[in-house]
Every structure is written in C-alpha cells, then in structure tokens.
Amino acid sequence: MFKTFIPALMLGAFAATASAADDGGKAAREAVEALAPGIEVESVTPAPMPGFYQVVATGRMVYVSADGRYMINGNLIDLKDKTDLSAAAWAKTRKAALAKVPEAQRLIYAPANPKHTVTVFTDVDCGFCRQLHAHIDEYNKQGIAVEYVFWPREGVKTTAGNDTPSYTKAVSVWCASDRKNAFNQAMTGASVKAATCANPVKDEFELGERLGVNGTPTIVTENGDVVGGYLTPAQLLQVLTAKGG
C-alpha cells in the first residue's frame, strides 16, 4: 500500500527525478507514481504552500515540491488562520466525487422533508453499521436522510482472485427483487439469497478507496466532511447542526 512507503521516504529512500523549474506538476506526479507499482494519481493541484503541489493518490493526500524531490506527508495547517487546509481540500474532493453518484446507485432512507443528508459507506457484516441501521427510523425522525453506498470491508477480490464474502453479500442485496428488504434483513445478520446482476458495488468500493475510506461506517456530510464512525441519531444531529449541514 501507498502508506507503507512513507517511512522509507522520510529515511531518504525517495529517489525522484528533479527538474530545474516548475513544470506544472508533472515532476510531482511522476515522483509519486514512482513510489510503488499500482499507485494511481487522482489529482495534482498547486498547494497553498508556495513551491509545492497537492497530490491525491490512492486515497492519500500529500504535498510534493515542484521539482519532485521533497514530499510532506501530513495535514497542512494555516497557522495564521488556524485552519486545516488539508481537511478542507479533502471535503471539497469528497463532495465533488459523491455528487457524481446517482440516487439510483444508492440505498436511500429519508424522511419526507429532510433537514440534513449524509452518505454512509457501509458493509453488511459490520457491527457498527448494523447498529446504525437498527436506528434508521430515529435518524429519519431527526430529519436526517441516510444514503448508503457499499464498501465491503474485505475488498472485492481475495488474494486467490475470488469474490470476497462481503462483496458477494453486498451484490446479493443489491440484486434482490426487493433491495431494501434484503438490506434490512442483512443488517440484522440474516442470510440473503445469493443473486447477481449489474451492480455498483465494485465502483463504490473503489470510490471509497480513492476518498480515503478505511473502515465502516464512514459518514460523510453534504459538505464532504467525515463525521464518523458510528454516531447515535442525537449525536449525528448535533454534529450536522453545528456544521450547518
């Protein structure tokens, strides 16, 4: 994984090709791609810190010098304004990416006129995910719409190349004749009849990977902020009210 290479970088194992001048982020991109096979760079944009680019790759955000020689792994803080610039950048990235996931590819539990809407990356075998869904009516009563997308914690494929159990269960839920009923059953621990069809589960898992999701449930607000982890209906309402949505 990408993150396993960070300590090596800090010890000076980063050997990247430097350029004499800023090349629009090309050197930064190539330096990150050279860290390990399979790293996919999502974006390269000028960082708020002069002389550096903000690089999002394989679910991580780092800052790389324009010549591709130096990398900073960690959140960028504006000490003058006391703001976490990395968190703000991640929120913007999540908001834009999730806006591209159509309602038809989500499982939506919503009141008639929701005051708040959250996207929840969920897994049918996750204990806290089940606890969250057990209170879905209460979230709705609090005016919170919950829109689920799948993030099977075991991934999509095993090391042997077979579908993982959590992926298979998510697909079976999605492909059930009554999708919501199947999901409700699965979230109680009940078995769901195996089924296959065209489905968004793999795409949603990969989206979560790109957005830095590393566990379930992951709750994302309309503004792109991650606020949990499992939160009770009252806790989630308090957080959403404080954040203005």
Q: What is the pLDDT of residues 71-98, one digit of tens each?
A: 999 999 999 999 999 999 999 999 999 9
2: buried, middle or exposed (CB in 10 Å: 19+, 13-18, 0-12)? middle
Domains of the chain: 2-81 (3.10.450.70), 98-243 (3.40.30.10)
Report percent pLDDT > 90 for the chain.
88
Q: What is the mean pLDDT of the chain?
A: 91
Write out the DSSP string of 45-72.
Answer: EE-SSTTEEEEEETTEEEEEETTS--EE
Q: Is the pLDDT of residue 229 over 70?
A: yes
Average pLDDT over residues 3-25: 48
Q: What is the pLDDT of residues 154-199, one digit of tens each?
A: 999 999 999 999 999 999 999 999 999 999 999 999 999 999 999 9
Name the pLDDT band for 2 (thresholds 50, 70, 90). low
Name the pLDDT band for 24 (thresholds 50, 70, 90). confident
Q: Which two tokens stand for residue 118?
A: 């959250």
Distance, C-alpha 244 to centroid of its chain: 21
The pLDDT of residue 243 is 78
C-alpha–C-alpha distance, residues 141 and 135, integer Å: 10
Q: What is the pLDDT of residues 124-160, one digit of tens each?
A: 999 999 999 999 999 999 999 999 999 999 999 999 9
Q: What is the pLDDT of residues 53-75, one digit of tens each?
A: 999 999 999 999 999 999 999 99
